[in-house]
Amino acid sequence: MSDSFGRSSLTSAKPANPDPIRVMVVDDSAVIRGLLTRALEGDTDIRVVTSVGDGQMAVNSLQRNSIDVIVLDIEMPVMDGLTAIPKLLAVAPQVKIIMASTLTLRGADVSIRCLSAGAADYIPKPTSTREIGGAEDFKRELVAKVKALGAAARRAGSRSRGEIRPLSPAYVPLSLKREQAPITTRPAPMGMQVKPDVIAIGSSTGGPQALFEVLSHMKGAVTQPILITQHMPATFTTILAEHITRQCGIDAKEAKDGEPVVQGRCYIAPGDFHMLVAQRGGANVISLTKDPPENFCRPAVDPMMRSILKAYGGRKILACILTGMGQDGLKGCTEVVNGGGTLIGQDEASSVVWGMPGAVAQAGICSAILPLKEIGPYIRKFASRAA
């Protein structure tokens, strides 16, 4: 068969990847498993190796199969997703787990508990088979996360075996495809020899776990406002703020439009809103907007960083980019650093996906590129020093 230009349609089709990302789908509904499998295998870089109906079956299957990514339902008979996570990671520590969760308060709460237990990411699951079958945005997000996390799982597996395993260009994250220049850091500006006035953090895939680790060092030492944009849908950000308060012992809340930015409080950008800082009546206040998504995200890190620079001036901003897909935060942080602010990024080895921190690291605008365990103490050091 040939097209109107006489070319064979067989030769124009994308060839199958000889070494695709290997996926397990776990859901108690056979219909949902079938829909997820078709959505994933529509991409030639992904192969669903097995699909099973509960957590115990997933553990048993993982012992027999080499898997890069598990798409795991939460509520299942025999063994639910939360119970299964530590058992799955005990069998295959390098495997990356994506929780499939409904957009409910319970679904959000359990999803964040799953992230704390070791899941790498989550995806909001449509509530019906009809929605899954027709939700193109859901399918695109699922495929993108599976490919990024699959690549990360293979790097982690190679490191644990002391190997250097090249990845197929088909699923290397875009931020890593460009030519790799030597990573450089930029010395902290003179302004960071005194306390910063504000701390701003951006994160995405793997972000909740990273935030819990970083913010656990803030209690009793950091008096500045902390503004966080974590890529999450509505409902999830409400629950994230509650978990940060409980686990880290700091005053965290989902931001509300018009509220003042006060010392010692941690503000989380609500799902589907950009969180900005605006000046009203001589004071800094939260401004929530429905402006178009940036970097395919709302909330996005870039508009938050730009607004903080405008409200505070660059000299006393301490910014941080944690693990996440894509390069959201690069443009905004570049403006912050050019304005005199300081930026730190998470290193590749400790990131679930080194997309966002990799972008700022490779741009040479970070004052430090640190393992996750060192970021909280670093921020605490600068935030608590004498003025």
Which residue of the set 51, 101, 204, 307 is catalytic?
Answer: 204
Q: Is 217 labeled as catalytic in the residue annotation?
A: no
Catalytic pick among 328, 347, 351, 367: 328
Active site (annotated) includes residue 197 = no
- Active site includes 216? no
Would the CA dihedral through 69, 73, 77, 82 be positive or negative? positive
Report the distance separating Cα 367 and Cα 387, nearest Å: 20
Contact between 214 and 206 (Cβ < 8 Å): no
As a whole number of angstroms, the distance between CA 308 and CA 99 comes to 33
Q: Tell me: cis bond preceding 357? Omega within 30 of 0 counts.
A: no
Question: How many angstroms separate the CA atoms of 44 and 38, rounded?
Answer: 11
Catalytic site residue from 54, 175, 231, 302:
231
- Write the CB contacts of 107 (distance below 8 Å, at least 6 apart in sequence): 74, 101, 235
Maximum alpha-carbon separation in the chain: 75
Which residue, chain included where needed, has tokens 């598990």?
A: 70
Burial degree of 252 (CB within 10 A; 0-12, 13-18, 19+): buried
Q: Which residues are catalytic?
A: 204, 231, 328
